[in-house]
A and B are shown apart, each in its own frame.
Chain A
Amino acid sequence: QVQLQESGPGLVKPSQTLSLICTVSGGSISSGGYYWSWIRQHPGKGLEWIGYISYSGNTYYNPSLKSRGTISVDTSKNHFSLKLTSVTAADTAVYFCARVGSDYSYYYMDVWGRGTTVTVSS
């Protein structure tokens, strides 16, 4: 059974770079057929998709990030990561990683990490 676990600093200073890792266990990130995604949830708010990456490295991002986000995959470590540059208080949120599975062309996030809280503050 595939499980995901987010890790990274819980506190980031304004203007710095937020870096998170999502470690995949119980399966290989290289197995193909999946995308690996980051989603965030601002305090008391709804869900915002950040972007995703295929096992081969193709990436798609939410334009709302204004090109501040980079998602990469490290198949040797079976994890994928998120870097978000020039953070502000508006980036304070719970960050989730998720696997995007599919049935034919119908994609959905079928496995989620527990989430990690990131606070941007000096």
Chain B
Amino acid sequence: DIQMTQSPSSLSASVGDRVTITCRASQSISIYLNWYQQKPGRAPKVLIYAASSLLSGVPSRFSGSGSGTDFTLTINSLQPDDFATYYCQQSYSTPLTFGQGTKVDIK
């Protein structure tokens, strides 16, 4: 199985901050990497696929980068609606695997 490791596990930030979350795969996954946002009591919502492609309707303050084993999700100018938990997920091979999540809360 491909292990996905996110860092940090949690972070505190203020509205307007730039936030960066890192995801590392245990082996190369090319750009087969997705990012999801989950709010308490809700289902995850996909933000980015193929490492850097933004889903339609997702605000442009979200961006993704990386390839191989190292990936980054960046949120520029954090908004109140962005406080949530973020997960990376590899789609390179089955079993599909997720990172452990990064919780972004209000400083």
Bound-state CA distance A3–B45 (Å) is 13
- In the bound assembly, the distance between CA atoms of A91 and B49 in angstroms comes to 29
Q: For B42, list chain A residues within 8 Å (CB).
A: 114
**In this assembly, does A48 line the interface, its C-beta being within 8 Å of a C-beta of chain B?**
yes
Please determine whether A47 and B53 come into contact, CB atoms closer than 8 angstroms: no
Give the B-binding residues of A (Cβ under 8 A): 46-49, 60-64, 96, 98, 103, 106-110, 112-115
Q: Give the size of the chain B interface in residues (CB under 8 angstroms).
A: 25
Q: Are B50 and A106 in contact (CB under 8 A)?
A: yes
Residue of A with least CB distance to B42: A114
Interface of A is mostly: strand
Please classify the interface of chain B as helix (H, G, I), strand (E, B), loop, or mixed, using the class held by over half of its residues: loop
Q: Which residue of B lies closest to A109 (CB)?
A: B46
Interface of B toward A, CB cutoff 8 Å: 1, 31-32, 34, 36, 42-46, 49-50, 53, 55, 87, 89, 91, 94-101
In this complex, the member of A47, A107, A108, A112 whose beta carbon has the largest number of chain B beta carbons within 10 angstroms is A108
* B32 nearest in chain A by CB position: A106
List 9 A-B pairs, minimum CB-CB distance, nearest first. A112-B43, A106-B50, A108-B49, A49-B96, A62-B95, A47-B98, A108-B34, A107-B91, A46-B100
What separation, in Å, do the CA atoms of A46 and B42 have in the docked complex? Answer: 13
Residues of B contacting A46 in the complex (Cβ-Cβ under 8 angstroms)? 87, 98-101
Q: Are A49 and B46 in contact (CB under 8 A)?
A: no
Contact B97 A49 (CB under 8 A): yes
B100 to chain A, nearest CB (A): 5
Shortest CB distance A24–B (Å): 15
Q: In angstroms, how far is the closest chain B Cβ from the Cβ of A95?
A: 11
Chain B residues with CB under 8 Å of A47's CB are: 36, 44, 87, 89, 98, 101
Q: Are B43 and A113 touching (Cβ within 8 A)?
A: yes
